[in-house]
Amino acid sequence: MAASSPDGGKPVLRFAPSPNGRLHLGHALSALTNQCFTAKHGGRLLLRIEDIDKERCRPEFEQAIHDNLAWLGIRFDGALRRQSEHFSDYAEAVARLRARGLVYPCFCSRQEVKRAVTAREAQSGQPWPADPDGAPLYPGTCRDLDEDDARRRVAAGGAHVLRLAMDRALAATGEAPGYVVFDEDGQQRTVIADPARWGDVVLARKDVPTSYHLSVVVDDALQGVSHVVRGRDLEAATDIHVVLQRLLGLPTPLYHFHPLLLNEGGDKLAKSRGSESLADLRARGVTAAEIRKRLGFA
Ligand code: GLU
């Protein structure tokens, strides 16, 4: 890890949990890795609450995040940033991309995407490509809709997402975007991103004027984050973040991807898989010191 941020100041890191469930050991590993890097390099550690999903995020989950992190002995610097309070920042960023013709409204439901993909597969006899998370690439149904038509449908209240036209976005950035990855020993290497493998990603969802990808990019820049430390499950998505940073004229932080904790079945720990929460461990009498030790931070 570089001793300082690109602007010569102290490194700024962030831990960015979503309050859509209880934190588990995987979150503790991520938060402690951030804390460890921050302490080692005399940086600042920020807390960001990624609560754009109004359906799934709940105040009691956020409260539990604060309680769990304090219990683990993790302190944060600076003001907390709660994404749900900054929708206008994200809307402004997406409007800038839209004004450059890089974003288009898409009216397809999930079922329609599925049907279009099945039709393409039947036509070609080949499996339709999937993105790194395993979801089928968007087949482009709405990419070239007549603009007036699309505007009329939006004005009439037609439910839609906003997608990045990836081919136009990559043509606009001009070169294959690269970024720097650092490891525990401070070694750095440049990685060339491959955003095309994600296709036309959603930048603004139907219900909120943003998405995980857009808000994370806008916020890392607004918060002056110089070093992003997060799990390997987000390594591939960094390709999208780097292209958005280029398009929006934002700096690209340095990145470190820590290994993931797996359950006995070999799957990563997840709220949706019912992985044991930190609160449950604590209720069973496990101490914060034991957790730190178990995760290698004694
Ligand atoms: N909010 C994301 C999560 O809980 C992490 C975001 C990030 O590190 O970029 O998985």
Mean pLDDT (10-residue bins), the chain, 298 residues: 56 97 96 96 97 96 97 97 98 97 96 96 96 96 94 95 97 92 92 97 96 98 98 97 98 97 83 85 96 93
How far is CA 150 from each of CA 155, 162, 166, 208, 224, rounded to the nearest angstrom?
A: 9, 11, 19, 19, 37
Residue with tokens 């139907």: 206
How far is CA 290 from each of CA 5, 32, 88, 191, 259, rounded to the nearest angstrom?
A: 33, 13, 42, 36, 20
Please report whether residue 53 resides in a domain: yes
Please report whether residue 126 resides in a domain: no
Based on the structure, what is the number of domains in the chain? 1
Please report whether residue 123 resides in a domain: no
| CATH code of the domain covering residue 75 | 3.40.50.620
Residue with tokens 């898409």: 106
Please report whether residue 41 resides in a domain: yes
pLDDT (0 to 100) of residue 184: 85
Tell me if 46 CB under 6 Å of ligand 1.
no
Tell me if 234 CB under 6 Å of ligand 1.
yes
Atom 8, ligand 1: which residue's CA is nearest?
230
Q: What angle separates helix 238-248 from helix 212-222, to the nearest 10 degrees?
A: 60
Predicted structure pTM score: 0.94
Atom 3, ligand 1: which residue's CA is nearest?
17
pLDDT (0 to 100) of residue 197: 97
Please report whether residue 32 resides in a domain: yes
Q: Residue 284 belongs to what domain range?
A: 12-107+142-294
Tell me if 220 CB under 6 Å of ligand 1.
no
Please report whether residue 92 resides in a domain: yes
